[in-house]
Structure 1
Amino acid sequence: MDETREALERLILERKLTYSGISRLLGRNVSYIQQFMRKGSPRYLDERDRSVLARFFGVEESVLGAPSRRSGPVVELIQVPMLDIEASAGHGSLAELESKSAQFGFDQNWLRKLTASKASSLSIIRVHGDSMEPTLSDGDEVMVDLGDNQSRLRDGIYVLRMDDALNVKRIAIEPQGRKISVVSDNSAYPSWNNLERRAVNIVGRVLWFGRKLQ
């Protein structure tokens, strides 16, 4: 006798009930439970019968053969700090890398798709201004990889330090590969061409942004 039948047998005996009585409780023919218990037919209690019996006996359905309820896998989130600063996408505002104001949790596997850098190299800051419209808007939150800077410079959006201010700009490697352009996506703002790589102070590469829907 398997565990389900043993459990049901015990419950019936404890209540001093009969197989035929339990069969009638289920609205079945009087030999139904006896056939289930002694002949293995049906092999399993159907879902409705199991539910009725579980409520009648005051037990979990798993005792009567229902699949055990298991919680989903535990997902460990990597906490990325949101720094209490702004990086200008406009005329520039003085800012320093200061204290954390909040943290965002990201799935580790998802982060690995963005960057090979350690989580300690990541931070989130807020964009200020509209010089990177339509790509980035005023108030957007951007994730910056501080480990992806001058040594791995390539086309993309970066946080730069310009005249003691943090700015978000697009970097474009010029065709010969020795010079770069610092570009504002919004044509109403200036861009700078033919710059030496080392002349630009790269803070980190922008990997991701979040935006509040209006």
Structure 2
Amino acid sequence: MNDPREVLLAEARRRGESLAALSGMLGRNSSYLGQYVTRGSPRVLDARDRKLLAQHLGVDEVRLGASVRDAALRLPVLSVAASAGPGSLVEDEVVVGVGTVDAVLARSLGLRHGLASVIGVRGDSMAPGILDGDQLVVNEADRRPDATGAVYVIRIDEAIMVKRVRREAGGLVATSDNPTADPVPSLPIEVIGRVVWLMRRPG
């Protein structure tokens, strides 16, 4: 099913929503999407309408006719929380939802489909920059810290952590930003990805 009109119609039926109702959600007249599907007018959906529909229906914007370059990037939201404290043990990473990042922002952050995710934070060892309850966008294509260092999600002895990581002559070194935090274990570090964006609920 590659035709955006067929995708829209199928997804609307799957959710039990009429094209007229979806048109109203967009602030359009009730026949807007019906004419798009049956008559091809408009020929392509307005970018704003396409984005809203993709978010509402839970589908990739590309399936509704966006170019890959213009489509918002859909990221898996993982149930695993990267501990900013002593570390949380995890057995696997379970997808519990999907988040979206605007196409322009995704490009500026260097994010690519299948190589980025959203994870939550527990603990305060990276305070004040990263707090308990924050959500982090992680670029899993960036796994090579340099000598300057940056904030990464890492795994140490099966514990998932968010730490500041830099490369030294002897290998990778991970530290916490909070000076009162417990020291990071001196064990091999597996880099999962670089933290490139932070999301926080308003206080």
CA contact (8 A) 1:148 1:205 kept: yes
Whether 1:153 and 2:127 are equivalent positions in the alignment is no
Structure 2 vs 1, CA of residues 157 and 96 (structure 1 numbering), >3 Å: closer, same or farther? farther
Work out the CA distance in 2 between the residues paired with 1:111 and 1:97. 26
Per the alignment, residue 194 of structure 2 pairs with 205
Work out the CA distance in 2 between the residues paired with 1:179 and 1:98. 27
Work out the CA distance in 2 between the residues paired with 1:169 and 1:178. 18
Deviation, structure 1 residue 201: 1.0
* Worse overlay, 95-104 or 156-165: 95-104
Q: Is the partner of 1:136 in helix, strand or coil? A: coil
Structure 2 vs 1, CA of residues 183 and 104 (structure 1 numbering), >3 Å: closer, same or farther? same
Per the alignment, residue 103 of structure 1 pairs with 98
Q: Which has the larger radius of gyration?
A: 1
One-letter code aligned to 2:88: S
**TM-score with structure 2 length normalisation?**
0.60
The alignment of Structure 1 onto Structure 2 pairs a total of residues equal to: 136
RMSD: 2.3
Counterpart among 115, 122, 125 of residue 121 in structure 1: 115
Tell me the alpha carbon deviations over residues 177-208 of structure 1, each in whole angstroms, 9 at most, x when there is no partner. Answer: 55442110011114459x79xx3211111111
Work out the CA distance in 1 between the residues paired with 2:102 and 2:180. 38
Moved over 4 A (4+): none
**TM-score with structure 1 length normalisation?**
0.57
Deviation, structure 1 residue 121: 0.5
Mark the runs of 5 or more structure 1 residues left unpaired by the alignment.
1-70
Per the alignment, residue 73 of structure 1 pairs with 47
Counterpart among 140, 159, 164 of residue 165 in structure 1: 159
Counterpart among 80, 87, 112 of residue 85 in structure 1: 80
Mark the runs of 5 or more structure 2 residues left unpaired by the alignment.
1-44, 52-70
One-letter code aligned to 2:176: S
Work out the CA distance in 2 between the residues paired with 1:121 and 1:185. 26
CA contact (8 A) 2:172 2:189 kept: no
Tell me the alpha carbon deviations over residues 35-84 of structure 1, each in whole angstroms, 9 at most, x when there is no partner. Answer: xxxxxxxxxxxxxxxxxxxxxxxxxxxxxxxxxxxx95345322111111
Counterpart among 152, 160, 185 of residue 177 in structure 2: 185
Work out the CA distance in 1 between the residues paired with 2:184 and 2:80. 25
One-letter code aligned to 1:168: V
Q: Is the partner of 1:112 in helix, strand or coil? A: helix
One-letter code aligned to 2:159: A
